[in-house]
Amino acid sequence: MNSIFNFFNPKDKLFQPLFEQAGDNLVKISHALVETVSTIDPVKRREHIREVDKLEQIGDDITHTIFLGLGKTFITPFDREDIHALVSSLDDIADYIYAAGINIDLYNIKTINKSMIKLAQLLFEMCTDLDMAIKELRNFKNTELIAAVCLRINAGEAKADKICNTALAILFDDEVDAIELIKQKEVLQMLEMATDKCDDAANVLESILIKNA
């Protein structure tokens, strides 16, 4: 009977540990991105980008495992739609971080401007917040923390928009090389989109909080 009960009780046995793995992976990949944009050594930069690549694949594996679990498990810790939305948004964050890192390498961007560094650091803060909030889904004992995280991420996304828009305006005013302009614009927008996906994840967390707290 205990084995049957455990099968029908995925909250602790299946989904929550995977949610926490996804959150932890986001912290790692966003930190690797900060390292990528913070170094001027091209060899070290490529090492950090390889780390971003590896962590993005780990994130994909976690996402795939959760989606398989949704198809096989009768009882879930909260609504299936919310699980799908949360996991998809976390996967999207990693995808855009990966895209930014890979494009820095593929485009051979030699000069990392300050706005890219600010956006990467902001992403790391937002991913760290998401990781903390995801851990609280285990028992919903600290709903105030989840709510506070959602507010901070919403404010962070607005800040990222401002950083990106300002950087693009300066880029169009100052950059005389059209190809370099396109390269840097693409990376800036990938970073900004990653913060948008953080905000999407926070919105899902708010929905889960309202339904389950």
Q: Would you state the structure tokens that stand for residue 7, as one six-digit string?
A: 């099968």
* Helices and strands (H, E) in the chain, number of each type: 8, 0
Confidence of residue 9 (pLDDT cuts 50, 70, 90): very low
Q: Give SS3 for 9.
A: coil
Domain span holding position 13: 2-212
Q: How confident is the model over 36-58, as a mean pLDDT? A: 95
- The pLDDT assigned to 129 comes to 97
The confidence score (pLDDT) of residue 33 equals 98
Can you tell me the mean pLDDT for 48-69? 96
Query: Total structural domains in the chain?
Result: 1
Could you give the count of Cα atoms lying within 13 Å of 129 in the half-sphere of its Cβ?
Answer: 26
- Cα-Cα-Cα-Cα torsion 48, 194, 71, 57, nearest 10 degrees, comes to -10
- For residue 202, is pLDDT > 80? yes
Quick: pLDDT tens for 128-156. 999 999 999 988 888 999 999 999 999 99
Is the per-residue pLDDT at 90 higher than 90?
A: yes
5: confidence class by pLDDT, cuts 50, 70, 90: very low
Distance between CA 58 and CA 53 in Å, rounded?
Answer: 9
Coil/strand/helix, residue 77: coil
Give 94's contacts (C-beta < 8 A, 6+ positions apart).
25, 26, 29, 55, 56, 59, 60
Helix (H) / strand (E) element for 99: namely helix 80-106
Question: Which of 39, 94, 30 has its CA nearest to residue 62?
Answer: 94
pLDDT at 213: 65
- Residue labelled with tokens 């962590």: 55
Average pLDDT, the chain: 90
For residue 42, the domain's CATH number is 1.20.58.220
162 exposure class (CB count in 10 Å sphere: 0-12, 13-18, 19+): exposed
Q: Residue 45's Cα: distance from chain center in Å?
A: 20
pLDDT at residue 190, as a whole number: 96
- DSSP labels for 119-154? HHHHHHHHHHHHHHHHHGGGT---HHHHHHHHHHHH
Name 14's Cβ contacts closer than 8 Å, sequence gap at least 6. 69, 73
CA dihedral 62, 66, 71, 77 (to 10 degrees): 170
pLDDT exceeds cutoff 50 at 6: no
pLDDT band (50, 70, 90) for residue 8: very low
